[in-house]
A and B are shown apart, each in its own frame.
Chain A
Amino acid sequence: MSKAIIESGNVAAAMAVKLARAEVIAAYPITPQTPVTEKLSEWITAGEMDAEYVAVESEHSAMGVCIGAASAGVRAFTATSSNGLLYMSEQLHWAAGARLPIVMCVVNRAIGAPWSVWNDHQDAISQRDTGWIQVFAKDHQEIIDMTLKAFRLAELVHIPVMVNYDGYYLSHTYMPFEPPEAERVDAFLPAYEYKHALTPEHPESLNTVTLPDARLDVQGIKRGGYMDIRHNLHEEMGKSIEVWEEIDQEFQLLFGRGGNPVIDPYRCEDADAVIVAMGSMANQFRVVVDRLRQDDGLKVGVLALQMYRPFPNTVIAEALQSAKHVMVYEKGLSYGSQGALYGDIKAALYPYPSRPRLHNFIVGLGGRAIPTESLYQTMKAACGQDLQIPPARTDAPQWIGLQL
C-alpha cells in the first residue's frame, strides 16, 4: 500500500490529474479552486508533469480549449467554482452534446449576487441540465479517487464528468489520504483515444448545423439529427450509473478502496428516518446519526448521494422503501420551487409503493455555518413530527439558521 500523506483537498485533486497524465490543462483562477490550477502549473513548469498549461482569459475559453483538446484526442482537464462555472455554461452544453470526455473539478461555492466566496452547492445545481455527469466527494480520499475514476468513466461513456467538492470544507482543509500508486493508475486508466480525433490526415466536420431530421452524409452514411443525438446522450447518461459501479469495482481490486460509488449509506439498514445529503455535510451527519441513536433511541441513518447526474432514481427509491421519514438537507435550491435534490428524490419515489414523509431543509447557503447541534435539533424535531400533518406544510423547504 502507498503511504498516507496530509494535504489539502485541492492538492488531492491536482494529484489525481497528474496521476491521470492529463495532457492539456486550461483554467482561469477563481476562489476556492485556485490552488488546484496553481499546483498543476507549478508541476508543469518544473517539468514534473508532461502537459500543456493554457493560461486563458476566461472560464468560457478554458472550456473551449478543453473542447478543442478533447476533439483532437487529448486528455483535458479544467477546474472552476461558482460564477466561473456559470461563465462556461454555454460551453458545458457543447462539451456534453459533442460527447467529449472532459473532466472538471468544481470546488463548490455560492453564486453572486451578492458576492460570496463561501461554500454552497448552487453552482453545480444550476448546471444540472447541461448533460454532464455530476459526482460529489465528501472527503479528500474521495476527491483523489473520484477524480481518477471520473477520467475512466468519461472516456468509457464519452460524457464529460464534473467532480464536485465543497469549497473550504474540503478544498482548503488538510486531511490524511493515500495517493494511488502511479503504475497502478496507468493500468487502471489506459491512454485516451477518440474515434473522431481531428488530424490533418482525417479532417471531419464536427457538430456543424445539424438538421431536425436524420440525413445521408456525403458518403451516403445515415447520420442522426439533433433529436437523435440528444436522445442517445440521455439514454447513455442513464447507463453510465452501471459503468460507474463497474469502475468502482475495478478500482477496489487495484487500490483496495471503494464500494459505494452511487449512494453511501450509514446506519440505514433499520432506519425509520433517513437523511439524504451530498458532499462533506453527509459525513458531518454521521455524528448526528450516532447521537440520535444513542441519546434519543431514534433509528436514524444518513445516505450520502455521490452521483447527482445521472440521477440514480431506482437506487435511491429502493434504498428508501423501508423509511418512514426522509429528510433532505441541501445547500442549494430551485428558486421559487424547492430544493432541487428534494424534488428529484420526490420524483424518484413516486412510482414506488412506499412513499415516506419527506422533509426539505435548506442549509449553509453562502457559507452560513452549519452547526452539528442545529442538524441534531432539526432532525430530532422532524423525527417526532406527526405523520398526519398536512403534506403542504412539510413539503415546503425549511430554512435552517436564518438570521432575519
Chain B
Amino acid sequence: MPDPRFKVLTSASTSGPGDAGRTGSWRVERPVIDMSRCIPAKTGKHACHICWLFCPDNVVSKEIEPAIDLEYCKGCGICAQECPAQAIAMVPDADFLEGADSE
C-alpha cells in the first residue's frame, strides 16, 4: 500500500455511462432505430441485442425496444454498423436542432 503521504491520484473510476464526461456533446450523427426492423422489437423476444453488446459506452439498453441514452452516446456508429437487420440509421444531429429544416 502506498505511503499515507502520497495521494496517488490516478484516472480510475467505476465503469458506467458518462465515465469520460458528457460524451453526447461529441456527437455529429445520432443512431436512430427503426423498430419495424429491429429484431427484439419485431419478435417481442430478448434476441439479438448486438447493439447493446457492441456499444463501447454502455448506452444502449437491453430491452425489447432498445433505447439509446443520447446524453452519453458519442455517435461512433458501431451499433449501426453491427446491426444484422440494418435497423439503425446514423442521422445528422443537426437535423434534430430546433428550427432545423424538416426536409
Contact = CB atoms under 8 A, between A and B. Distances in A.
A70 B9 CA distance: 16
Interface stretch (B12-20, B40-48, B82-90, B92-100): B12-20
Contacts of A228: 9
B9 A239 contact: no
A196 interface: yes
A343 B20 CA distance: 40
Interface residues of B, number: 20
A232 B2 CA distance: 14
Contact of A205 (B5, B8, B9, B14): B14
Contacts of A229: 9-11
Contact of A156 (B3, B10, B11, B21): B3
A99 B3 CA distance: 13
Contact of B3 (A203, A206, A232, A243): A243
Given A156-B6, A158-B8, A211 B13 contact: no
A236 B7 contact: yes
A157 interface: yes
Interface in A209-224: 209-211, 215, 217-219, 221, 223-224
Nearest to B74: A209
A186 B9 CA distance: 28
Interface in A292-329: none
Contact of B12 (A155, A207, A215, A236): A207
Consensus secondary structure, chain B interface: loop
B14 A209 contact: no
Contacts of B8: 99, 158, 195, 232, 236
Contacts of B10: 97-99, 196, 206-207, 229
A117 B9 CA distance: 39
B21 A218 contact: no
Contacts, number: 83
A208 B6 contact: no
Interface string A79-97: 0000000000000000001
Contacts of B1: 155, 193, 195
Contacts of A209: 20-21
A183 interface: no
Contacts of B6: 156-158, 236, 239
Contact of B15 (A203, A239, A243): A203
Contacts of B5: 239, 243
Contacts of A196: 10, 12
Most buried by B among A158, A207, A232, A239: A158
A373 interface: no
Contacts of A193: 1
Given A196-B12, A218-B13, A223-B11, A157 B18 contact: no
Contacts of A232: 7-9
Residue in B7, B10, B12, B18 with the greatest tally of chain A CB atoms within 10 Å: B10
A258 B11 CA distance: 36
A96 B15 CA distance: 22
Given A156-B2, A157-B2, A205-B14, A218 B9 contact: no
A156 B9 CA distance: 14
A205 B7 contact: no
Nearest to B18: A218
Contacts of A236: 6-8
A201 interface: no
B14 A217 contact: yes
Nearest to B12: A196
A208 B19 contact: yes
B68 to A, nearest CB: 18
A208 B15 CA distance: 10
A98 B2 CA distance: 14
Interface in A142-165: 155-158
Contacts of A226: 11
A206 B21 CA distance: 14
A204 interface: yes
Given A155-B2, A158-B6, A239-B5, A206 B16 contact: no
Nearest to B8: A158
Q: Which of B3, B5, B15 has its CB near the most chain A CB atoms (within 10 A)?
A: B3
Given A218-B14, A218-B19, 5 more contacts: A204-B12, A207-B10, A207-B12, A218-B18, A232-B8
12 contacts: A97-B10, A157-B3, A204-B13, A205-B13, A206-B12, A208-B13, A215-B21, A217-B19, A218-B14, A218-B18, A224-B11, A239-B5
